[in-house]
């Protein structure tokens, strides 16, 4: 008996939970109809009880003088008329009770109707409309104050739930946009700090050597050569800043690319540069379908990665190109030094040069990363069996294409 009773209680609990969820997820129209239906039921119950109350009040007065209605001819608020012709006056209290009873039975239906409608509307507003409207109003106020560090939670799937969900989506989008804008501003400030710092050294050197020339000290050819080196360095910094500015306008233009043609162009360029540098090349590739790709941006990334690999390679450069599901993967490795832990963390940061001799600005991998992100892809660094390796992955999902 115990298990059966327990099972019955669990079933009842589940049914009540299902009923509660059903009521919770009703639309506003359905909820209003439910509130009106329940208030009408309560109103009918109240009318029945009040009618019974007023009828009993009237009968108590009348039955003080007669035993049954058969001996009653009629009555007013002040007198009782019997069938045998007698007229009995009511006391003031009895007359008041009859008047209250008559007025009560006359007014109970309209009053109950009005009260039911008012009560249903009040409860419907307080329980269904006010929470959503208040949440939307508070969210709009916080967004107007540029306070986006909150979450709009309504919890219902009715007509107010949809605008609340749209408001939450808008807030999240504004939060992401503001965060992205803040990161961009911070990055620009950091660029300017680094740029100003790095320009200070060649300017100082140029000023010092200019003073030596003006004073007639030192061999002029050596001074001019040094000045030329630092002027070239300043030009490289300015070119690097221009490249960073152009990154903001880098928008991919997708068009169908023939994989065989792309591989041929990549391999011939790599072979030419490797031969010139006295290095060997290992170029591998997999089977690929026609590629929806921005050819120019992809080859720009490839040229930068190849240039880095040639700079550090000792004897061989390894290039792998393959299509993995809906992604184009390019790996460029070399048998030079492995990436250090610091380089793995910071090599894609702007102006990171690590232990470099200062002849490079440290923008190559950063530019590659930004161009990859502009195409919806990413850049990753690791140490493979062949050596330091940089991998580019670009999704090949169908986007807006140019025929």
pLDDT at 316 over 90: yes
The per-residue pLDDT for 321 is 93
The answer to whether residues 295 and 329 touch, using CB atoms and an 8 Å cutoff, is no
The per-residue pLDDT for 403 is 36
CA distance 274 to 268: 10
pLDDT-wise least confident of 92-96, 286-290, 349-353, 372-376: 349-353
pLDDT-wise least confident of 115-124, 154-163, 324-333, 340-349: 154-163
pLDDT at 220 over 80: no
Output the six-digit token pair for 368.
Answer: 């590659």
CA distance 245 to 184: 12
Output the six-digit token pair for 23.
Answer: 């009521």
Mean predicted lDDT score pLDDT of the chain: 79
The per-residue pLDDT for 335 is 92
pLDDT at 237 over 70: no
The answer to whether residues 216 and 250 touch, using CB atoms and an 8 Å cutoff, is no
CA angle 379, 198, 219 (to 5 degrees): 130
pLDDT at 141 over 70: yes
The answer to whether residues 396 and 326 touch, using CB atoms and an 8 Å cutoff, is yes
Instruction: Work out whether the CA dihedral 124, 129, 132, 138 comes out positive or negative.
Output: negative
Of 236-250, 319-333, 335-349, highest mean pLDDT:
319-333
Residue 128: pLDDT band (50, 70, 90) is confident
The model carries a pTM of 0.48
The per-residue pLDDT for 326 is 85
Question: pLDDT higher for 136 or 13?
Answer: 136
The total number of residues written for the chain in this structure? 403
The per-residue pLDDT for 120 is 87
CA distance 48 to 223: 112
Residue 72: pLDDT band (50, 70, 90) is confident
- β-bridge pairing 316-324 and 280-285: parallel
The DSSP bridge partners found for residue 324 are 327
Q: What is the CATH number of domain 255-395?
A: 3.30.565.10
pLDDT at 283 over 90: yes
CA distance 58 to 50: 12
Of the chain, the percentage scoring pLDDT greater than 90 comes to: 11
325: left (phi over 0), alpha (psi -120 to 50) or beta: left
Domain-by-domain residue ranges, the chain?
21-159, 190-247, 255-395
pLDDT tens-digit profile of 293-310? Answer: 888 888 888 888 888 899
pLDDT at 130 over 80: yes
Of 11-20, 223-232, 317-326, highest mean pLDDT:
317-326
DSSP state letters, 143-162:
HHTT-----------STTHH
């Amino acid at each position: 008996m115990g298990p059966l009773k327990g099972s019955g209680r669990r079933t009842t609990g589940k049914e009540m939970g299902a009923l509660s969820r059903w009521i919770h997820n009703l639309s506003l129209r359905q909820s209003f109809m439910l509130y009106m239906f329940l208030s009408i039921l309560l109103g009918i119950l109240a009318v029945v009880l009040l009618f019974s109350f007023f009828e009993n009040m009237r009968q108590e007065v009348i039955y003080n003088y007669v035993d049954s209605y058969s001996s009653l001819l009629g009555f007013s608020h002040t007198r009782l008329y019997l069938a045998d012709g007698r007229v009995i006056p009511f006391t003031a209290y009895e007359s008041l009770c009859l008047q209250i009873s008559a007025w009560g039975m006359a007014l109970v239906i309209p009053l109950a109707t009005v009260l039911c409608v008012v009560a249903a509307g009040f409860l419907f507003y307080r329980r269904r409309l006010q929470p959503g409207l208040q949440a939307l109003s508070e969210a709009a106020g916080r967004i107007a104050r540029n306070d986006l560090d909150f979450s709009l939670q309504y919890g219902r799937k009715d007509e107010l739930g949809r605008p609340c969900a749209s408001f939450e989506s808008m807030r999240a989008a504004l939060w992401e946009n503001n965060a992205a804008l803040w990161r961009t501003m911070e990055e620009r400030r950091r660029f300017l700090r680094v740029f100003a710092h790095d320009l200070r050294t060649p300017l100082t050197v140029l000023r010092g050597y200019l003073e030596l020339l003006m004073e007639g000290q030192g061999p002029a050819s050596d001074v001019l050569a040094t000045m030329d080196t630092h002027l070239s360095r300043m030009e490289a910094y300015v070119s690097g800043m221009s490249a960073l500015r152009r990154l903001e306008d880098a928008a991919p233009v997708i068009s169908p690319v023939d994989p065989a043609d792309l591989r041929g162009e990549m391999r011939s360029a790599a072979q030419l540069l490797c031969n010139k540098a006295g290095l060997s090349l290992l170029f591998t590739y997999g089977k690929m379908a026609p590629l929806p790709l921005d050819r120019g941006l992809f080859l720009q990334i490839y040229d930068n990665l190849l240039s880095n690999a040639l700079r550090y390679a000792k004897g061989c450069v390894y290039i792998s190109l393959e299509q993995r599901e809906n992604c184009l993967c390019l790996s460029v490795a070399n048998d030079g030094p492995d990436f250090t832990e610091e380089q793995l963390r910071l090599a894609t940061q702007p102006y990171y040069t690590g232990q470099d001799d200062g002849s490079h600005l440290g923008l190559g991998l950063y530019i590659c990363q930004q161009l990859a992100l502009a195409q919806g892809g990413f850049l990753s660094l690791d140490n493979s069996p062949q050596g330091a390796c940089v991998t580019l992955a670009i999704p090949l999902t169908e986007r807006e294409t140019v025929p």
